[in-house]
Amino acid sequence: MELARVTSKGQITIPREIRKKLGLKPGDKVLFVEEDGRITVSNSAQAAITSVQSQFQGAAEDAGITDEQDVVDLVRDVRSQRRKL
């Protein structure tokens, strides 16, 4: 358990161990999420990646992509189509 103090401006310093666990570096943004009466703090970049990954889950299967060669073929087709534009 870590402890932080709130300043008169509402600011806190996130303890070093928590920053390390969240993978936070200077300039990073944090995300506060309220769920079931609890507030969680997370690295906003990691949360965005996780969100995108979950949105694309199953997309490869839906597109018929089953192996690396399918990806190579898809990239080749897209590049070919773009050259025609």
pLDDT tens-digit series, residues 16-42: 999 999 999 999 999 999 999 999 999
| Residue boundaries of the structural domains of the chain | 25-84
Q: What is the pLDDT of residue 38?
A: 96
| CB contact at 8 A, 17 and 6 | no
Q: What is the pLDDT of residue 29?
A: 93
pLDDT tens-digit series, residues 38-67: 999 999 988 888 888 888 888 888 888 889
Share of the chain above pLDDT 70, in %: 100
Residue 25 is given by DSSP the state: -
* Residue 56, φ and ψ in degrees, nearest 5: -90, -5
| CB contact at 8 A, 10 and 25 | no
**Closest by CA position to 32, among listed 5, 17, 12:** 12
Q: What are 70's two structure tokens?
A: 């399918």
Q: What is the pLDDT of residue 57?
A: 83
